[in-house]
């Protein structure tokens, strides 16, 4: 039996980057970033690994390719990228989850499962870590990983107040590492408030509906993690049924953290800043930067789910529990 894999799911801009980097700084934990995009960003684009090197020049990922396939040159990058795009679509969620026959998706899904399984097994072998951390976010990919009988999967559903997510998507973000080869420049966004609200609602609703299909699953609020990182990480590890060395959280020092460099794929721009002493604070710039009219619009469209996650519908400071567990005893 392989070691556990912590899968961080949720909608984009919800603080998954922060959680991933924190977990990756615990001794024995190893982050792979958003591994779902290894075919697109890594193999096809040869974008930058978070270590700073291009994917094909990174020693870690070169070893993974050798173990999994006898070298990345043995993989058809265009076909692997196509398979990922097909399997990872919202409209195919029910087929991936087994709620209805696979139909025309069967052949693509089987091939994609084989490619994905070989990569994850190689990652565990090369990393030699006790716990792998994956922040791929998408539910379809989590459900694919769930089909591997050898994989000990633990799910974290990360949520952030809808106003914060909508505001984040309203800005243009520089994305280091998303360019091709040596061109590491890239820009993402902005997106309309309607698009961001729709994505926030859809992604979180899907995780609410499917989290019970995972043997161990828990929910964590971004705001609680940023406000009380040590307390929330201790509780999170308990809910995920994971143990860590006694000094595992020594990288945290009050409101700052000495986060360990990683070899992750893709992700938020903060992942490419490997400087120590990262400041930990709740990013609530939306409170002053978002117009009252837009705040009211977001509150009106998302208030039932805000209430479900413990937020007030009105834009007031968040209080209460940060972490909710829905785990079941493992056999």
**92 Cβ contact list (under 8 Å, min separation 6):** 86, 105, 140
- On whether residue 144 sits in a domain, the answer given is yes
d(CA 182, CA 104): 38
- On whether residue 281 sits in a domain, the answer given is yes
pLDDT in tens, 113-160: 999 999 999 999 999 999 999 999 999 999 999 999 999 999 999 999
> For the whole prediction, is pTM greater than 0.85?
yes
CATH number at residue 110: 3.40.50.300
Three-class DSSP labels, the chain:
CCCEEEEEECCCCCCHHHHHHHHHCCCCEEEEECHHHHHHHHHHCCCECCCCCEHHHCHHHHHHHHHHHCCHHHCCHHHHHHHHHHHCCHHHHHHHCCCCCCHHHHHHHHHHHHHHHHHHHHHHHHHCCCEEEEEEECHHHHHHHHCCCCCEEEEEEEECCHHHHHHHHCCCEECCCCCCCCCCCCEECCCCHHHHHHHHHHHHHHHHHHHHHCCCEEEEEHHHHHHCHHHHHHHHHHHCCCCCCCCCCCCEECCEECCCCCCCECCCHHHHCCCCCEECCCCCCHHHHCCHHHHHHHHHHHHHHHHHCCCCCCCCCCCCCCEEECCCCCC
What local confidence, expressed as pLDDT, does residue 221 receive?
Answer: 98
What local confidence, expressed as pLDDT, does residue 278 receive?
Answer: 79
Spell out, as residue ranges, where the chain has pLDDT lower than 70.
Answer: 1, 173-189, 267-277, 316-331
Domain that holds residue 81: 4-325
- On whether residue 291 sits in a domain, the answer given is yes
- On whether residue 331 sits in a domain, the answer given is no
Number of domains in the chain: 1
- On whether residue 330 sits in a domain, the answer given is no
């Amino acid at each position: 039996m392989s070691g556990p894999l912590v899968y961080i799911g949720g909608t984009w801009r919800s603080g998954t980057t922060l959680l991933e980097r924190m977990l990756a700084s615990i001794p024995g934990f190893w982050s792979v970033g958003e591994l779902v995009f290894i075919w697109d960003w890594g193999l096809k684009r040869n974008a930058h690994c978070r270590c700073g090197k291009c994917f094909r020049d990174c020693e870690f990922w070169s070893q993974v390719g050798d173990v999994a396939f006898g070298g990345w040159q043995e993989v058809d990058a265009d076909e692997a990228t196509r398979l990922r795009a097909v399997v990872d679509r919202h409209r195919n969620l029910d087929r991936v989850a087994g709620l209805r026959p696979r139909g025309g998706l069967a052949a693509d899904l089987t091939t994609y499962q084989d490619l994905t399984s070989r990569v994850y097994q190689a990652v565990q072998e090369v990393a030699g870590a006790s716990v792998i951390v994956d922040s791929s976010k998408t539910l379809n990919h989590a459900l694919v990983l769930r089909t591997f009988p050898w994989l000990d999967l633990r799910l974290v559903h990360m949520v952030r107040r809808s106003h914060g997510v909508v505001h984040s998507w309203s800005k243009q973000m520089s994305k280091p590492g998303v360019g091709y080869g040596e061109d590491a420049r890239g820009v993402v966004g902005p997106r309309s408030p309607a698009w961001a609200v729709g994505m926030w609602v859809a992604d979180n609703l899907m995780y609410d509906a499917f989290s019970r299909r995972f043997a161990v699953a828990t929910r964590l609020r971004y705001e609680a993690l940023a406000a009380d990182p040590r307390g929330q990480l201790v509780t999170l590890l308990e809910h995920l049924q994971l143990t860590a060395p006694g000094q595992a959280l020594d990288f945290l020092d009050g409101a700052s953290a000495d986060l360990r460099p990683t070899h992750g794929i893709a992700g938020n721009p903060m992942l490419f800043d490997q400087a120590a002493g990262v400041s930990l604070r709740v990013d609530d710039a939306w409170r002053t930067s978002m117009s009252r009219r837009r705040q009211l619009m977001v509150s009106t469209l998302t208030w039932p789910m805000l209430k479900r996650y413990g937020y007030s519908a009105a834009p007031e400071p968040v209080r209460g529990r940060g972490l909710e567990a829905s785990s079941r005893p493992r056999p």
